[in-house]
Amino acid sequence: MIRTKEELAKMRRAGRVVAEMHEATRAAIRPGVTTAELDKVAREVLERRGARSNFLGYGHPPFPAVICASPNDMIVHGIPGDYVLEEGDIISVDCGAIIEGYHGDAAYTAPVGEVSAAARRLLEVTEASLWAGIEVMREGKRLSDIGHAVQTVAEAAGYSVVREYVGHAIGTAMHEDPQVPNYGPPGRGPKLRAGHVFAVEPMVNIGGQGTRVLEDHWGVVTADGSLSAHFEHSIAVTPDGPEVLTLP
Ligand code: MG
Ligand code: MG
């Protein structure tokens, strides 16, 4: 799907709302705060900007919040609630917004107070793996070059990349085809063209790649209990290179 200039303008606006949700939730992260409070902060941004949530009511059972909040060994899809952030935790926040029918989607993982050197390194490497994937989003590259770049960075650090959950094209729906895995050989799949927009979202574990879904049917944790991080941006391929839509 090739997005027009007009469509990209709307996606840029949706992306900026997502960036603002990131800034607001980041500023609220500290020991003693619950994940439900982070959700409330993000809701206030959506209301202020007149945007709708693409997370609230998504899927079965319907997701009950506007952010996913996933602490420590939780990889993605954590339901915000009465979990109290503690000094030394890491917390992943994933959220999105819809403006005039166009979607943005992005995630980050942040430290809560002082964290271990191991946790800090996981965050640095996972974010670097996202930027390695973004860097190859240029006309003429192929879709699988993105995941290959992500995997190369994550595995060089001794970490593993989650296989069951992947990135995706994004536009008039949050999750559009094709999927964008965070692994695989380079040089496969369709050629990237200006107007393609993908949400690239590495999920990286310190331990093994295995995952387990919690009894709430949403939260996904590492099978071995190891720490996991998640970073995501929505990015357009342009004639001038990748344009990250979900930056402030
Ligand atoms: Mg997301
Ligand atoms: Mg996504």
The Å distance, Cα 200 to ligand 1 centre, comes to: 9
Structure tokens at 194: 């200006």
For residue 75, which ligand has an atom nearest its CA? 1
Q: How far is the CA of 17 from the centre of ligand 1 (A)?
A: 14
**Residues above pLDDT 70, as percent of the chain:** 100
**Beta-carbon contacts of residue 206 (< 8 Å; ≥ 6 apart):** 118, 122, 159, 226, 227, 228
Supply the pLDDT for residue 123. 98
**N residues, the chain:** 248
The CATH code of the domain that includes 51 is 3.90.230.10
> CB-side exposure of 95: number of CA atoms within 13 Å?
35
| Segments forming the whole domain that contains residue 84 | 5-244
pTM over 0.85? The answer is yes
Output the CA 174–ligand 1 centroid distance in Å.
9
Q: How confident is the model at residue 31 (pLDDT cuts 50, 70, 90)?
A: very high
Ligand nearest to the CA of 198: 2
- 162-221 tens-digit pLDDT: 999 999 999 999 999 999 999 999 999 999 999 999 999 999 999 999 999 999 999 999
3-state helix, strand, coil in the chain (%, to 5): 30, 30, 45
Name the 3-class secondary structure at 99. Answer: strand
**Count of structural domains within the chain:** 1
- C-alpha of residue 165 to centroid of ligand 2, in Å: 9
For 37, the token pair is 């409070």
